[in-house]
Each structure stands twice: as structure tokens, then as C-alpha cells.
A and B are shown apart, each in its own frame.
Chain A
Amino acid sequence: MDNQINLSKDMFRPVPHEDRNPEKIRRPSIKYWSDVWRRLRQNKLSMVGLTIILLMILMSIIGPLINGYSYFEQDYSKINLHPNAIHWFGTDELGRDQFTRIWFGARYSLIIGILAATIDFIIGILYGGLSGIATRKVDNIMMRIAEVIYSIPYLLIVILLSVVFSSEGSGTSLFVLILAMTLTDWVPMAILVRGQVLQLKESEYSLAAESLGATKPWILRKHIIPNTLGPILVNITLTIPRAIFAEATLSFLGLGLQAPKSSLGSLANDGLAGLAVGNGYQIIIPAIFISLIMFGFNVLGDGLRDALDPRLRK
């Protein structure tokens, strides 16, 4: 060995401690959220999902304006036209332009999904947070109530409410649809928030932070919020497709929005009649877009969950 290295006396001089850095961290350190974003970006499927969602949102805003037709304008000279150069997605049995109606429907579907998720989120945070910080007894009662509400079958109650609050033949208003959808669906969010609050209230790192003299707001900001945000975000992303799905099913059962307003679900319902007479495009196109939205939110939610799970961090 000695003959490989040219040894000199100088090489054996001690190196003072200050010249070395024993705490040196060689691996690049990555901030939490940028790390989450990095891992999310690596997940190709989630990125496809995110792109679909963004495109759908964009098109639901500008889509109905593109070809100059309105969603209610009927033209009996052009009923049941198959997709062509003028009516890109064809026309329905009343001669309305399907392209415009699809994007208009997508707008309603997305609004319903996003509003329902937002309301779930607000109720969930309030109820769950309150339950989490309340005394054991109150917490217990609140959770039992939530359990009872949650074991009421979701779509059954949605159907019931739509029946009650819509008079015959008038369809259901947007407000009632969203109300019905959030009536039981806030519970998972509340349970999630409560769980996080309880866990963090008693967790070792809050305790550690507190014993080091951190104030409560500081703990809330630095520990509780960042740690709760992840699961909540995932929950929201997965609530949206659930609400869209519920609305579509409802519309399909004839309990959706009042015509000529439409959602993707009611368009599919209308298209079902066309299927029998060879106008399959009337159901296939809305079906594709419902599925795309569902796909987008589901894979984004999955990707977010994986990206946020610290156990998967390498």
C-alpha cells in the first residue's frame, strides 16, 4: 500500500476539529412541498390526470363559446345529426348543438363536484376540529352522531332529497343537488380532521415542540397544519369525482338538472334513447367525458396520496 501513495511527513499532521464538518449533509436537502411536487411530477399517470382536469376546466369555461351555438337553441331541421364539420359532436333529438351542450354540461358537473367538495371540507373541518378539541364526552357523542349520519346510504338520501325538493317535471335545482350530496358526505372529512387533531394533540413532536417552549399558534402553523393538509388534500381530490358520479347517476335516474340546463349525466341519460335508434354518439360522447373527469381526479388523488406518504420517500 505504501508504494501506491507517496507518503510524506506532512500528511500525518493532525487536522484541527474546526476544519472538518462532522454534521455535513451530503444529500441535497429538499423542502417538504417541493419534494411532494417532485414525486407527484414523477408519477406520469397523475400528471395525465392533472392535465385532463385542467383542460376540462378550461374547456368548460370557453368550450360553449367556441362554435357560436347556444346550449338551448333548437333547430328542427337538424335533429340527430351525427358528428360533422359544423356540429363537431353532432346534434340531439331537438337539434341542439352537442359540442356546446357537452362543455356546458361539463361546467355543471365540475361546479357540482367542486362546490360539494368545498362544502364537505368546511363542514368537515369545523365539525372534526371541534370534536377533536372538545372534551372526551362531547367528542364521543359527536362521533356517534357522525357515525349514524354516515351509515345512512349516501345515494339513497340524495335521491330522497331530490324527490322531496323538486316538484314533478321541474328537475332538481343546483342548490338541492349540492345540499343532498354534502348531507352525509362530510363525515369522512370530519373523521379525518378529528383523527389528525387528536393525533397531533398527543403526538410526540408536538409535545417535544411544546417542551422546547413553542407557542400553541406556532405548533399549529408549523406542525398541525402541514401534517393535516396532505390527507385533506387527497380527500378533497377524491370527493370531487364522487360528487360528479353521484350527480351523473342522479341525472341518469331522471333526478338531475332541469332541461335545457344539462350536466354530463343528464346528457348521457338523454342519449340513452338515441342508442336504440342508432344515435350512439349521443351517449358515447358524454360518457367519455364523464369517465375522463372521473379518471383525472381519481389518478390525481392517488398520486397525491402516494406523493404525500413520507414512508415512500427515499
Chain B
Amino acid sequence: MKKYLFKRIIMSAITLWAIITITFFLMHSIPGNPFRKEGKMPQVVYENLQKKYGLDKPLPEQYIIYLKNLLKGDFGDSMKSKVETVNDMIRRGFPVSAYLGLEALFIALIFGPALGALAALYQNKFPDYISMIIAIIGISVPSFIMGTILIQFVAKNVSWIPIGGWGEFKHTFLPAVALSLMPLAYMARLMRSSMLEILGQDYIKTAKSKGLSKSIVILKHAIRNAVLPIISVLGTLISNLLVGSFVIEKIFGIPGLGKFFVQSINNRDYTLIMGTTIFYAIILIVLLLLVDIAYIFIDPRIRLTKEGR
């Protein structure tokens, strides 16, 4: 198992390095110069700016410097903001995004598998249809549309739910729901098919043959095993949540990292784009790694095969 863990960590590090490298060189391959566009600028100022951002050095050297700074946890300066560094913005925006993301994940994790299990238990009956309608809507309606609809029909009619803004729990409610719907739907569908498969397994019959009641068979034998595939896709779902947050933060005007990211795209603030992209990548890859490790401890079968390697 240790060997597997080690291998897994090495792979994550390689992936991260690949992302950093790709991002860096992509950003530096953009034709034109970020400072040339700022209108007429005295040559001295231009040169000073070049120096400040290290753009006067050859590209490989810039790359090494950037990597070194990253290792120190320094994402560099913003090209557009004169007062805040990329680190400042991450520090300001990430807690907001993380709070929203966790709330959405929480909603999705509670309702998604529950709906899926319900659908499987009442296959081709009313609860199945209702759950699957919710799931299909969740998958078919992109989050930016869901967000808009929620603003239009809920926030405008329910007085205690604000349309936008940030600061209190009531502000998080609608965006979290809008954000959670896609992963919720995905989990519900996965849970349904996984549950249907498990219910057809021989060991469910064994459990019934022991005289266990229906509810015990479902809770202790079926659901426990059916949940496993959901845990394995958790990483992908978190990744979806993250990207969804760009859109949701834009719609609801939430001052999270996603909003900074979208802003940096629109402002062409290259260092900020690079910094946030890499920060997102780090978060995601660490989460994927954690999910994988958690999975090893939850599924005894995996534990053994990984030990064997």
C-alpha cells in the first residue's frame, strides 16, 4: 500500500508540474506584450515594468524563477492591480469560494445519493420518475441558467432571499443550490445504477436469506456497497463544482476566487490568470489524491490489491 501511495503522490506531482509548465509557456506565447497595449507609455516606464515583472530575462530563466517562487508559495504580482499581489487575491477570494463550494458539495452529497437510492428501490415507480426528472434537469440545465432562473423566480419573489451579495448565510443559499444541482444530479444517476447493480448481486440474496429485514438489507448491505463508486468520482465532481463556481460567482456577484479569475480573463491580467489557474490545479490535484487515499481505506478489496503491488 505504501508503494501505491508513493506512486500516486509522484503521479500527482508530475501532473502538477505538467500543468504549471503548460500554463507558463502558454501564457508567455501570447503574441504582443501586455504593456504595449496600455496606450502610449514612455520608454523608461516600459523598461522599468519589464524589469519589475522579470520579462527582460530569457524565457527559460523566467520559468526557473517562477518555479522557485511557486515552491516558496509566491504566485507573483498582478499585472493590473497595483495594490494586491496574486497571493493577496487568493487569500481574499479563496475562503469565499471554498465556503460556497463546500456548502454546495454538502447539499449534493446529502440529496444526490439519497435520490439515487430511492429511485433504485422504487425502480419504474413514482419516486424513480421524480428523482430521475430532477437528475435530468440537473444535468441538462447549465448552472448559469439555473442561477439566472433562481434569481428570477425565487430571489425576486421570496423577500428574505437576496438576489446577490455576500456576507451572511442567506446570501449563500441560492448560489449553493444552483452550484450543487449538477453534481447532485450526477450522483443521483450514478447511485441509481450502482444501487440497481448491487441489488442484483448474490450477496444481497444471502443477506435476505439470513432473515434480515428489508431495511437492514438495504442499509447495511446495498447502500454501503453502492456508495463506493460515488466516492471514486468525488474528485471529478469537486472539479465540476470549481468550474461551476466561476459562473455562479459572476451571476450572484460573489467576491470569490472565481470572480477574480473571470475578471483576470476579461482584463487579460496574465500573471493573475496564471496564478489562479495553478492554484486551482493544486487544490484539485490534492483533493483527487485525498479522495483516492480515502477510497483505499473504505474499500477493503482495493486495500489488498494495492498492498499486493
Q: A and B: direct contact (Cβ < 8 Å)? A: yes
Instruction: Give chain A's interface residues, CB within 8 Å of chain B.
Output: 144, 147-149, 151-157, 159-161, 163-164, 167-168, 241, 245, 248-249, 252-255, 265, 268, 272, 275, 280, 283, 287, 290-292, 294-295, 298-299
State whether B29 touches A253 (Cβ < 8 A). no
Chain B residues with CB under 8 Å of A252's CB are 142, 144, 247, 250
Chain A residues with CB under 8 Å of B14's CB are 148
State whether A156 touches B281 (Cβ < 8 A). yes
Instruction: Give chain B's interface residues, CB within 8 Å of chain A.
Output: 11-12, 14-15, 18-19, 22-23, 26-27, 29-32, 37, 136-137, 139-142, 144-145, 148-149, 151-152, 239, 242-243, 246-247, 250-251, 262, 265-266, 268, 273, 277, 280-281, 284-285, 288
Q: A164-B29, A291-B145 are in contact. Are A144 and B11 (CB under 8 A)?
A: yes
State whether B140 touches A291 (Cβ < 8 A). yes
Given A147-B15, A159-B277, A287-B145, 6 additional A-B pairs, CB 8 A: A151-B12, A151-B285, A160-B273, A163-B265, A253-B250, A272-B148
Chain A residues with CB under 8 Å of B242's CB are 153
Chain B residues with CB under 8 Å of A241's CB are 140
A298 to B281 CA separation, bound complex (whole angstroms):
28
A selection of 25 A-B contacts at a CB cut-off of 8 Å is: A147-B15, A151-B12, A151-B15, A151-B285, A153-B242, A153-B280, A154-B243, A157-B22, A160-B273, A163-B273, A164-B26, A167-B32, A241-B140, A245-B142, A249-B142, A249-B246, A268-B144, A272-B148, A275-B152, A290-B141, A290-B145, A291-B137, A291-B140, A291-B145, A292-B140
A167 to B266 CA separation, bound complex (whole angstroms):
11
A165 to chain B, nearest CB (A): 9
Chain A residues with CB under 8 Å of B137's CB are 291
Contact of A156 among B27, B32, B277 (CB under 8 A): B277
Q: A147-B11, A254-B265 are in contact. Are A156 and B152 (CB under 8 A)?
A: no
State whether A160 touches B23 (Cβ < 8 A). yes
A160 to B136 CA separation, bound complex (whole angstroms):
30
State whether A253 touches B265 (Cβ < 8 A). yes
Chain A residues with CB under 8 Å of B32's CB are 167
Q: A164-B27, A268-B144 are in contact. Are A253 and B19 (CB under 8 A)?
A: no
User: 8 closest pairs, A vs B, by CB?
Assistant: A295-B140, A294-B140, A287-B145, A155-B243, A291-B141, A148-B15, A291-B140, A252-B144
Chain B residues with CB under 8 Å of A144's CB are 11
Q: A168-B37, A253-B246, A287-B149 are in contact. Are A159 and B265 (CB under 8 A)?
A: yes
Interface SS, A side:
helix
State whether B281 touches A153 (Cβ < 8 A). yes
A148 to B281 CA separation, bound complex (whole angstroms):
12
B111 to chain A, nearest CB (A): 19
Chain B residues with CB under 8 Å of A151's CB are 12, 15, 284-285, 288
State whether A152 touches B19 (Cβ < 8 A). yes
A109 to B167 CA separation, bound complex (whole angstroms):
37
Chain A residues with CB under 8 Å of B246's CB are 249, 253
Chain A residues with CB under 8 Å of B152's CB are 275, 280
B184 to chain A, nearest CB (A): 15
Residue of A with least CB distance to B14? A148
A147 to B235 CA separation, bound complex (whole angstroms):
14
A291 to B140 CA separation, bound complex (whole angstroms):
5
Chain B residues with CB under 8 Å of A155's CB are 243
